[in-house]
Structure 1
Amino acid sequence: MQINDIPIVVLYLLFSFMYCYSQQQNIIPNQQLEGVSNQYFLTEKTFKDDMSYYYRMCKLKKDLTVNDKLYILYRIRNKYKDTKIDITPVNVEISKLESQRNKTQKLNIILPGKYIEDDMAFYFRYSKENNLTTNDRLSILYKIRDKYKNQDVDTTILNDEIKRLEPKWATKKPKIKYKKISIKPVTKELVTKNSVKESVSSETTTQPYISVSSITNIIYGHEQTTPTIKIIKRPEYIIHTDDILGIKIYPNDELSCEVFVQPDGSINLPLVGDVIAAGLTIEKLSKFLEKSYSRYIVNPKVTVNIRQFSEDEVLITGEIHNPGVYTYKEDSTILDMISKAGGFTTSANIKEIKIHRGKYENRKIILVNAEEIINDQTKNIVIERGDIIEIPKTTKKISVIGAVVSPGNYDYIEGIKVFDAVSSAGGPIKSAKLSKVKIFRQTESKREIIDLNLDTIIKGKTDIDIELKPGDIVLVPYK
């Protein structure tokens, strides 16, 4: 049988099959695109199958980088570029991802800051705004490290952030910690049965007896001492993640608070919400907050205190007479520390005291009810090195601020409404803008801002008045 005897149609089909198979192998060297899994000719259906494959891969593999996604899209585009099939969806997706990648690459080349704290503040802000991937974040951090590697600057924040983002398998230099060991002189003692019994009985007694009267005095602040409080306040100190900031806002002291700097560098404040603090100096953060609060308060003055503590210290924050850092003493209990700090303030929520224990990534929170210690001294928890004792405010308060006669905190009464709260604060002053009253409400999941026209309520339309909840902040703005 000669080749001339084979029908031309059969030869055409055979060569077409071989050509399509070779193209498939060339275009897809590593992975099989689904559009050609069961067909040898490129159609609208095969294109849709390939795009479905791409979207499914993005959904299933959360660790795909921008470059990984572009690699798949480039292969799809090359596969269909010589056909009449409309490949607009793949071009749109490529354009979007290339734009995102180019932004990051451009930032890696040119860092805007003159000092490392400026570059780190820029990094935290840009990463949060653009939701950068871990690889993109590390790319910027490595660029910052290269920029300052030959300069005598503090790179603690930079190194901590790189350590947090790098995968566990990344090569790291071993850190050797040296501990000072105090060696007690050895004395020869005669060991008797009685001495053994005495030593065993002394070890089992872990809690000394505390009288009910002394506990009551501590809880209600009658035994007040004046300990030495170490508060570090340096204008050039650079704020780190896991720092504790004391924010004082004048003239509205009810907005003052103490906050933790979160792992992403942010803090959450009343009225203004999330603010990037890590990488900034105290002075820069103070000025930024003054500008932010000026939208709600006339000429606000903001001071920021950095409260640091070592592993040999304990930090007491919140509603306590003398908050600050105290030297750790072995076997000290929570009531011992509260007594040192002068006792609770009148607005303290003594039923929900929080003890933050351990490093941030493995930190656990222990809840303590101080009233229960009166009847059960076993709940008088022993403090450990590096503990943070947080005394929260009672939630049964509301705040009225802005253009009122007596701004401040007021007791929450069941069923109280905005008009009643403003009246409790002495009523509005002449320069109050009653049509633009705002209620700031913090829930477990989000922060709400509710607008209210108080002028309409005063004129008689009381049905639109809003019932307040504990912790609400009522802002009466100025004209």
Structure 2
Amino acid sequence: MNSAASSFFRMLRFLAGMVALLSLGSGLIAQVAAPAKTTARKSITYSIRSSDKLGVSVFDEDLTRTSRVDSKGTLNLPLVGEVRVTGLTVNQAERAIENAYREGRFLRTPQVTVTIEDYAPREVTIGGQIKIPARYPLPLESPMSLLELVGKAGGFTDTAKGTAVRVTRIQADGSTSTKNYDVESILRGKKDARAEDSSLTLEPDDIIYVPERVI
């Protein structure tokens, strides 16, 4: 074999080796990257509420269940019974359910996935001396302030006492609390207005009442 042919075959062997190394490297990169792809999860900050419809599945176990959160804020699950989930994020609910199966000694290392199949109605009610009294939906993607709600409802009537807007809220234990907020001072740009009054973030089932001004 002449030197030219020998050089040609050496070049072929070199190229074949490079292709093999590149293939091996890409395989290793894929193996390293794969776990990050499968374990990455979107951050969910939504707090679960009563009447939300949740899907609960347990990895490698026949314990899948889809049901609505009851009025007590719990899910009734196979083996463990009631697990409280209201006020929790999806991730927190997963951990709570895993703990229930683990602490009950039903499963050693449960892996739970929770999905929200359907959201409970998220509405607030505003009435009294407001131009468009009604129930208004709260957006899921962003909070709604008291000032924004007043704007959506058309603003105050001429006889409204906007300095004492009453907000009644249901607490976690089922009790109610009522507070007055001065929205009118913000609308009028008064220096002594309290910004926290108009920026109050509304929660589902809040009841807002605008009283009439005594003339």
Flag the structure with more relative contact order, 1 or 2, with Cα contacts below 8 A and sequence separation at least 6.
Answer: 2
Higher share of residues assigned strand: 2
Do both proteins adopt the same fold according to a TM-score greater than 0.5, normalized to the shorter chain?
A: no
Higher share of residues assigned helix: 1
TM norm structure 2 = 0.34
When Rg is computed on C-alpha atoms for both structures, the one with the higher figure is 1
